[in-house]
Amino acid sequence: MTITIGVLALQGDVREHRAALEAAGARTVGVRRPEELAAVDGLVLPGGESTTIDKLLRIFELDEPLRARIAEGLPVYGSCAGMILLADRILGGTADQRTLGGLDVTVRRNAFGRQVDSFETDLAFAGLAPQDGGRAGAERAGAVHAVFIRAPWVEEVGPGVEVLARIPDHEAPGIPAAAAGRIVAVQQGSLLATSFHPEISGDARVHELFVRIAKG
């Protein structure tokens, strides 16, 4: 069964997410209007700047329709800023910043630091198959190469949230010491979120996971 996954096309890595979803077997469309949102089986909220996306959602009159569809059970995957948009609670946000909500987590915005503090690392990720011909150091089952760019992390999860990936507890080159053990990927029912950007790593397995979630 082929399903249609929308990618919110207001800001961020829209093209990269669509390419990864299509590699995972989904049909994709850009979503900018409520009628486009109404026609999809799932939605990706890409990275970008969470406060800007929040404002654009209001300008394009997508915020309330999207909240309603999330409440109805629409499968949604949020990466980086998309994780912030899905979170019920934010730390470090602006005074007027709103989220779409639905994901029972507390997220800290820009937790890893500024753009210059961006980094890459390999993480164990629950529910992913081994990658054939994977990157050196990421060959173990369920490992994913994660790219963090001004990323959030999850400080607290509710009882219905499954933790899929954490930063390793041990110190590693390039990773802030305060990040050790922090939660960076979660799932709650049909909602999936990552702090990092799998769409730019060349590995479509996180998107394959989301397509499976969207198929139900």
pLDDT digits (tens, 9 = 90+) for 163-181: 999 998 766 666 777 778 8
Residue 71 has pLDDT above 90, yes or no: yes
Residue 93 has pLDDT above 60, yes or no: yes
Residue 85 has pLDDT above 50, yes or no: yes
Strand partners, 42: 5
CATH of the domain at 92: 3.40.50.880
**Average pLDDT over every residue of 83-96:** 92
Annotated catalytic residues are 80, 197, 199
Residue 148 has pLDDT above 70, yes or no: yes
Residue 56 has pLDDT above 50, yes or no: yes
How many angstroms separate the CA atoms of 119 and 184, rounded? 14
**Average pLDDT over every residue of 181-185:** 93
Establish whether 150 is an annotated binding residue: yes
Range of the domain at 101: 4-215
Domain count, the chain: 1
Top-confidence residue, 116 or 90: 90
Which distant-in-sequence residues (6+ apart) come within 8 Å of 210 by Cβ?
5, 21, 24, 42, 44, 75, 77, 192
Strands 76-79 and 191-194: parallel
**Average pLDDT over every residue of 58-78:** 96
Residue 34 has pLDDT above 80, yes or no: yes
Q: What are phi and psi of 5, to 5 degrees?
A: -110, 125
- Percent pLDDT > 90 in the chain is 67
Establish whether 213 is an annotated binding residue: no
Q: Which two tokens stand for residue 3?
A: 């399903």
Establish whether 67 is an annotated binding residue: no
